Chain A
Amino acid sequence: MAVADSMSSSTAEPTVIADRLDIIYKVIAGQGGKGTAATALRRILKRQDRPTIREVHAVKSVSFTANKGDAIGVIGRNGSGKSTLLRAIAGLLPPASGAVYTGGRPSLLGVNAAMMNDLTGDRNVVLGCLAMGMSPAEVQRRYDEIVEFSGIGDFIDLPMSTYSSGMAARLKFAIASAKTHDILLVDEALATGDAEFRVRSERKIKELRDQAGTVFLVSHSLEVVQETCNRAIWLDAGVLRLDGPVKEVVEAYIASTRAG
């Protein structure tokens, strides 16, 4: 099985290449230094950084090559750099060193807040599609399909601020997957949906793979990863521990969590 996989990848076209990727970002930590105006002024005069700013080395020298038609599950514990890796692939985080090369433009689906909260669901569908570069005629053609896929029903006329997190995630997934993306990055978006939606979105991801797209999926549900992905990357404290066929990687991951 492993041999067949490597054979196919040598003939396939790479779509995402990470080359010794390092990501460091600054966070404002809770304590350290007084937060008064006087200390702030002194810092400005002395041209110091805020003492509370700490650097986090989230991804450490990660390299891999993803090919067309790959669905790659990214697994690992909380805080192991999975979401950070996805955002770097999307071009939203600058690498400290190394590089990510992509063909086409990756779209990132996260579980963060809705797209345009004060607008209704149907406005969000239209605007999201237009923002992705569809023509108004195309939006009209796709509209019903998107709404139906999201399974939002009558709520489509209500502002997105009234949606539950699961509904918002479903609608966003439906909008983003209406266009064929070369690279789709899914960050836990499926976890918030109900069982029925999960089945549908898994089918959609398979469809996207068949259309020669590349899908990255961050999920804590190993079951979902095993069902939708053909390959997996295991991140541990920012370091790439294992990269290979999904079954092998998931098994190794489970073994390590049991041992630890």
Chain B
Amino acid sequence: MPTAAEPTGMTSPAELAERYGLSKSSIRPPLSSYLRELWSRRQFVLSYATARTYAMYAGARLGSIWQVLTPLLNAGVYYLAFGVLLGTKNGIDNYVAFLLSGIFVFTFTQRCMTEGSRSLALNLSLIRTLHFPRATLPLAYVLNELNQMLVSLAILFVVVGFTDGPAWRWFLIVPAMVLQMMFNIGITLVFARIGTFVSDITQLLPFVTRTWLYASGIFFSLPSKLEQLNAPSWVVQVLAFNPISAYIDIVRRSLLQEHKQNELPHAWTIAIVWSFVMLAGGFWYFWRAEDRYGRG
């Protein structure tokens, strides 16, 4: 009622809010504007990832040399266990490169999941202080792991360069990494949301990832292993749907000449489908709870 002496007294608060364009304080923005806002914070994601990488090694005496040492030591342990002691090598020519590529690709996704599941909980006070799209935090963690992955890949190329010599095939690593990166962003966003509301997941995740590790054909070639065991051929077809197996396989295709005989069926198709589904699904799933992060 515009003629009333005291307009604020006559209209309901909801009407008043609408007239002045106020919105409910705990509302989730639409997905399209959320993504746009996210893009405008890309500098934050980048700087935060850099700062975290720096802080991670700042306390260690050897500093960022650990970025090279960690994957090497990791690979060394697995080589000792599976290559030497258990003798899984069976007929794989360049077993070191075979093993390294598997471990590095797997570790990339595994670290994204476990670190990502804590990305919001560890930054609770930042979330409660400033307003920004929460997805920037898990994204920064993924970027962090990508940085580590690139160092690991450099090691891998040195190894393969020494044993097999360079090849044009190597450039396939670029689409392979793009696809895995897309998948990792998606799965990190999913676990970032789960990890925020179900903190038990941090206890559970190591078991999940360890099971996944042994099912992904990192230490042995899946097709030839199953042939040895006289498994029916559909088992290989089913196991090939494992996204990690697909990413490992396309990296091996790019690096190893002799991998042809051990190739998994339809690895590229499976890798591409997983990447797009996981990326889109991850963003959607994370955004659905955007207004609830930092509460409690």
Binding site for B on A (CB under 8 A): 9-10, 13-20, 63, 65, 87-95, 99-103, 105-110, 112-116, 118-119, 123, 126-128, 130-133, 135-136, 159, 172, 176
CB-CB < 8 A to B132: which residues of A? 131-133
The proximity string for B residues 116-133 relative to A, scoring 1 for CB distances below 8 Å and 0 otherwise, is 000000010110111110
Report yes or no: B47 in contact with A127, Cβ–Cβ below 8 A.
yes
**Do A88 and B25 form a contact, CB below 8 Å, given A103-B20, A127-B51?**
yes
CB closest chain-B residue, reference A131: B132
**Do A100 and B24 form a contact, CB below 8 Å, given A130-B43, A131-B136?**
yes
A153–B80 Cα gap in the complex (Å)? 52
Which secondary structure dominates where chain B touches chain A?
helix
CB closest chain-A residue, reference B26: A91
Report yes or no: A65 in contact with B47, Cβ–Cβ below 8 A.
no
Distance (Å) between the CB of A134 and the closest chain B CB? 9
A127–B292 Cα gap in the complex (Å)? 22
Report yes or no: A101 in contact with B24, Cβ–Cβ below 8 A.
yes
CB-CB < 8 A to A176: which residues of B? 129-130
Q: Which 8 A-B pairs have the closest CB atoms?
A: A101-B17, A19-B13, A130-B44, A91-B25, A101-B22, A91-B26, A131-B132, A102-B25
Report yes or no: B41 in contact with A116, Cβ–Cβ below 8 A.
no
**Do A92 and B8 form a contact, CB below 8 Å, given A130-B47, A131-B126?**
no
B73 contacts the other chain (Cβ, under 8 Å)? no
Q: Which of A88, A127, A136, A159 contacts B48 (CB 8 A)?
A: A127
CB-CB < 8 A to B292: which residues of A? 94
CB closest chain-A residue, reference B7: A10
Report yes or no: A101 in contact with B51, Cβ–Cβ below 8 A.
no
B295 contacts the other chain (Cβ, under 8 Å)? yes
CB closest chain-B residue, reference A109: B129
Given contacts A15-B22, A130-B41, 19 further A-B contacts (CB under 8 A): A14-B17, A14-B20, A14-B22, A15-B20, A17-B16, A19-B14, A91-B26, A91-B291, A93-B295, A100-B25, A100-B26, A101-B13, A103-B20, A113-B125, A119-B51, A119-B52, A130-B43, A131-B126, A176-B129
Q: Mark out the residues of chain B between 1 and 31 whose CB falls within 8 Å of any chain A CB in the assembled complex.
A: 6-8, 12-14, 16-17, 20-27
CB-CB < 8 A to A110: which residues of B? 125, 128-129
Report yes or no: A131 in contact with B130, Cβ–Cβ below 8 A.
yes
Q: Mark out the residues of chain B between 31 and 70 whose CB falls within 8 Å of any chain A CB in the assembled complex.
A: 40-41, 43-44, 47-48, 51-52, 55
CB-CB < 8 A to A128: which residues of B? 126, 130
CB-CB < 8 A to B48: which residues of A? 127, 130
CB-CB < 8 A to B26: which residues of A? 91-95, 100
Distance (Å) between the CB of B8 and the closest chain A CB? 6
A-B pairs with beta carbons under 8 Å apart, 27 shown: A10-B7, A17-B17, A18-B13, A19-B12, A19-B14, A19-B17, A20-B13, A65-B8, A65-B16, A91-B291, A94-B26, A95-B26, A99-B24, A101-B14, A102-B23, A103-B22, A103-B23, A112-B125, A115-B126, A119-B51, A127-B47, A130-B43, A130-B48, A131-B44, A131-B136, A133-B132, A136-B43
